[in-house]
Structure formats: structure tokens, C-alpha cells
């Protein structure tokens, strides 16, 4: 009778164990919590600011002295033509009107009559002047036509034809994509730093030696990427939900479907971008053993992220340009460029498919090659290790 053998935990179990460890550690990290709260507050604050800025000039209070119902109607009609909500406040005399203007109860007061006069505290804004001047002009023309015996005018209605009916929706999608790219860039930097710092901490404290006694280096790398990836995905989904809810609640967007689809595209590209950058950051961090040396090895990858970010912003103004088109296929750059091009509607399906395939192939290549470098460098402490040395160490 043979004794039972202990096969040990499977690779999947070990990866899940590392992922759970990374997830539980970082979700309690004060830096992560603060950054998440700040991002959400910035999103809601941006929506509130946009609402306040957009509603700042859409209402005007105009005082009126000596005018009848026709003057009030003319002022309100002119306001509708200028997309301004005009409130007419009637006063008994000029003295009361002056007091109201001086105390800023009204923006200005119209003294109706043969020689109309507009009272303002300092100067008349363009909106107020346009409303009053337009209303007075309409009344004067109506009086002159009436005196000439003309009671009706056959004025044709001007038909408005938009050459690009989807321009407003396209603009909203592009703005959403740009905002999403900013969030995507911030999270890639944040979680890339988390992974890199964790690798160096484990090397400097020799914790990695204990971990590698029970698992292989690629299992440790996969667990780190998976654990922080789930946390990052949860964060960007939460940000997307809050952004969409705030935009709909404050009536910032006109086409909710376009907003939701653009947010979904940004999240999808984040998953691909995170997988690539997380592996690169982890491998780069394994080449050093001190936090002081971390910035040096992360600089090249960080610069790629910065370049991708600025190209993505530039793609908003020229989504069909050569720079935007070429970089939207380059792995590492495409996650921050392609979402903007897709939002602008300048991308064919085959282009998206090609960019995704190239990105997936790049992820596989980085993980395989990076895993070898990671394995060879992880147990070597001291100064900075070269990639060639790490690859040589992995073969021995």
C-alpha cells in the first residue's frame, strides 16, 4: 500500500493567493484611498463647475418704467431669440428703478418712452444690451409700419440645415474620451508605481526569498499583475459609473448612449494598457533593490506613457492625421490614442481589430520575455542589474 503524496497547491491557487495578498494590501493603503476619493471629487466638481459656468449668463433681470405689456412681451421675445431667460420687473418711477439697479436687484432698467434710456450700475453687458436694444428696435419698427398702414408682414421662415448633424454628439464623445485618457494615464502611473514599489520592497526585505521557496517567479509576477489589475479595474469602473451618473444628473450631455459607449471603450483599452505596463513596470523594478534607484529604471516606461498621453490629447484635434493613425497601432501608445480616435468616429473596425491584436501580441511577448528577466533578477540584490545579466542568470 503506497503512502499518499502531497502534490502541493496548483499554479492557479498560488496566483490567486498572491493576487488576494496584493488586493488586500493595497485596498487599505492610504495613498490609494486618498487618490480614489480625490479623483471622484474632481469628476463631480468638474460637472458642477460646468453646470454653473453654462448657467451663468442664461438669465437676465430687466427693470421697466413706463412701459406697457407690449414692451414686456418684446423684451421676453428678444430673450428667447438670444436663448436668455428674461425676467421683467416693473417699477413705478425712475427713482425706484435707480435704487434697484444700484442694489443689483436688476441688471439694468429701461425707461420707456419717446427717448428710451437704459440705466446700468457700471456698464451694460453684451447680453443685456442686445436684449434691450433688440426689443426697442422691434417696437419702433412695429410703430412705424403701423403709422404707414402696414399691419402685417409676410416674413418667410428661414430653414436651418446642419451640414454635420452629429457634430455636437461627436464633440461630446471626444471630450469624454480625452477625460477618460487623463484618468487612464493617471491610473496606469499610479498602479505601475504600486507594482514597482512592491517588487523592490520584497527584494530589499528578503520576503521574496520566502515567497519563491513555495512558488515560481512567473506565478508571483502573474499574481501581482492580477491582484492590482482587479483593483485598478474596479477603480476605473467606479470612476466611469460616477462620471456617467453625474453627467446625466447635471444634464451635461445630450446623448447618454454615446457617453456610456465611450466610457466602455476607455475601460476596455485600460485593461490592455494595464496588462502591458504592469508587466514592464514589475520587470523594470526587479532590476534594482532600493527605492532610491527605482526612478531610474522606471524612467523609460514613464516617458512612453507621457508621450502616449500627449499624442492622445493631440489626436482629439486631428484624429485622422498621420501621427494619430500610426501611433494608434503601436503597443504601449495605442491604449491612450485609439480611444480618442474611436470617439471621433475616424476608425474603421479593421483598424480597431489590428490595434487590439498587436497589443495582445505585445502583452504576450512582454510577459514571456519579462518573466525571464524577472526570474533572473528577483533574487539578485545589491546595485542595479542589467537585463543581459538577468537573462543569463535565469538560464543557469
Predicted confidence (pLDDT) per residue in 243-299, tens digit: 778 777 776 665 566 677 888 888 899 889 988 998 888 888 888 777 788 888 889
Q: Where are the domains of the chain?
A: 15-45+167-395, 59-147
Cell numbers representing residue 173 in the block: 464623445
Q: Tell me the pairing of strands 117-119 and 59-65.
A: unpaired
Considering Cα of 69, then 74, then 77, then 82, what sign does the dihedral take?
A: negative
Give 358's pLDDT tier (boundaries 50, 70, 90). Answer: very high
Contacts of 217 (CB under 8 A, 6+ apart): 371, 374, 375, 378
Higher pLDDT, 378 or 22: 22
Cell numbers representing residue 30 in the block: 492610504
Cell numbers representing residue 129 in the block: 444690451
Higher pLDDT, 248 or 382: 248
Calculate the average pLDDT of the chain: 78
pLDDT for residue 151: 63
Work out the average pLDDT over 84-95: 83
Considering Cα of 51, then 339, then 332, then 35, what sign does the dihedral take?
A: positive
- CB count in 10 Å sphere of residue 345: 13
Work out the average pLDDT over 219-247: 82
The pLDDT of residue 329 is above 80: yes
pLDDT for residue 30: 79
pTM exceeds cut of 0.85:
no
Place of cell 533574487: 379
pLDDT for residue 293: 80
Can you tell me the distance from the alpha carbon of 261 to that of 47, in angstroms, rounded to the nearest whole number?
A: 19
Work out the average pLDDT over 104-112: 83
**SS3 at position 126:** helix
Phi-psi region of 206 (alpha: psi -120 to 50; beta: other; left: phi over 0): left
Can you tell me the distance from the alpha carbon of 105 to that of 107, in angstroms, rounded to the nearest whole number?
A: 7
pLDDT for residue 54: 57
Kindly state the percentage of the chain with pLDDT values over 70: 83
Q: Interior CA angle at 148 toward 142 and 151, to 5°? A: 55
The CATH superfamily assigned to 59-147 is Periplasmic binding protein-like II (3.40.190.10)
Give 161's pLDDT tier (boundaries 50, 70, 90). Answer: low
Q: Tell me the pairing of strands 108-111 and 59-65.
A: parallel
Cell numbers representing residue 312 in the block: 492622445
Work out the average pLDDT over 368-382: 72
Longest Cα–Cα distance of the chain, Å, equals 122
**C-alpha 18: how far from chain center:** 31
Q: Nearest Cα to 253, choosing from 262, 244, 261?
A: 244
Can you tell me the distance from the alpha carbon of 55 to that of 85, in angstroms, rounded to the nearest whole number?
A: 10
Q: Nearest Cα to 312, choosing from 285, 339, 293?
A: 339
Amino acid at each position: 500500500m503506497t503512502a499518499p503524496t502531497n502534490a502541493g497547491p496548483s499554479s492557479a491557487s498560488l496566483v490567486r493567493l498572491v493576487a488576494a495578498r496584493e488586493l488586500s494590501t493595497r485596498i487599505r493603503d492610504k495613498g490609494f484611498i486618498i487618490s480614489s476619493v480625490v479623483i471622484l471629487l474632481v469628476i463631480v466638481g468638474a460637472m458642477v463647475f460646468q453646470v454653473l459656468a453654462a448657467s451663468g449668463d442664461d438669465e437676465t433681470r430687466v427693470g421697466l418704467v413706463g412701459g406697457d405689456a407690449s414692451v414686456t412681451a418684446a423684451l421676453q421675445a428678444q430673450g428667447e431669440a438670444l436663448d436668455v431667460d428674461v425676467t421683467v420687473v416693473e417699477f413705478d418711477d425712475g427713482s425706484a428703478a435707480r435704487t434697484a439697479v444700484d442694489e443689483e436687484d436688476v441688471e439694468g432698467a429701461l425707461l420707456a418712452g419717446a427717448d428710451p434710456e437704459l440705466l446700468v450700475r457700471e456698464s451694460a453687458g453684451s447680453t443685456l444690451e442686445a436684449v434691450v436694444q433688440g426689443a426697442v428696435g422691434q417696437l419702433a419698427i412695429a410703430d412705424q409700419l403701423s403709422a404707414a398702414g402696414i399691419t402685417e408682414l409676410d416674413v418667410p421662415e428661414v430653414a436651418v440645415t446642419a451640414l454635420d448633424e452629429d457634430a455636437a454628439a461627436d464633440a461630446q464623445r471626444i471630450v469624454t474620451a480625452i477625460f477618460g485618457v487623463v484618468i487612464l494615464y493617471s491610473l496606469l502611473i499610479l498602479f505601475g508605481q504600486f507594482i514597482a514599489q512592491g517588487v523592490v520592497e520584497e527584494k530589499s526585505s528578503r520576503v521574496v526569498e520566502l515567497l519563491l521557496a513555495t512558488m515560481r517567479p512567473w506565478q508571483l509576477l502573474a499574481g501581482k499583475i492580477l491582484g492590482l489589475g482587479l483593483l485598478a479595474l474596479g477603480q476605473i469602473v467606479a470612476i466611469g459609473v460616477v462620471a456617467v451618473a453625474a453627467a446625466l444628473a447635471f444634464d451635461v450631455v445630450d446623448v447618454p448612449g454615446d457617453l456610456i459607449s465611450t466610457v466602455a471603450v476607455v475601460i476596455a483599452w485600460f485593461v490592455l494598457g494595464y496588462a502591458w505596463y504592469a508587466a514592464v513596470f514589475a520587470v523594470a523594478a526587479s532590476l534594482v533593490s532600493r527605492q532610491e534607484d527605482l526612478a531610474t529604471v522606471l524612467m523609460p516606461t514613464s516617458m512612453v506613457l507621457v508621450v502616449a498621453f500627449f499624442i492622445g490629447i493631440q489626436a482629439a484635434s486631428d484624429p485622422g492625421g498621420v501621427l494619430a493613425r500610426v501611433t494608434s497601432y503601436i503597443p504601449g501608445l495605442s491604449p491612450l490614442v485609439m480611444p480618442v480616435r474611436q470617439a471621433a468616429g475616424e476608425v474603421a473596425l479593421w483598424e480597431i481589430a489590428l490595434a487590439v491584436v498587436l497589443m495582445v501580441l505585445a502583452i504576450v511577448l512582454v510577459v514571456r520575455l519579462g518573466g525571464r528577466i524577472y526570474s533572473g533578477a528577483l533574487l539578485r540584490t545589491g546595485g542595479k542589474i542589467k537585463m543581459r545579466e538577468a537573462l543569463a542568470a535565469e538560464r543557469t
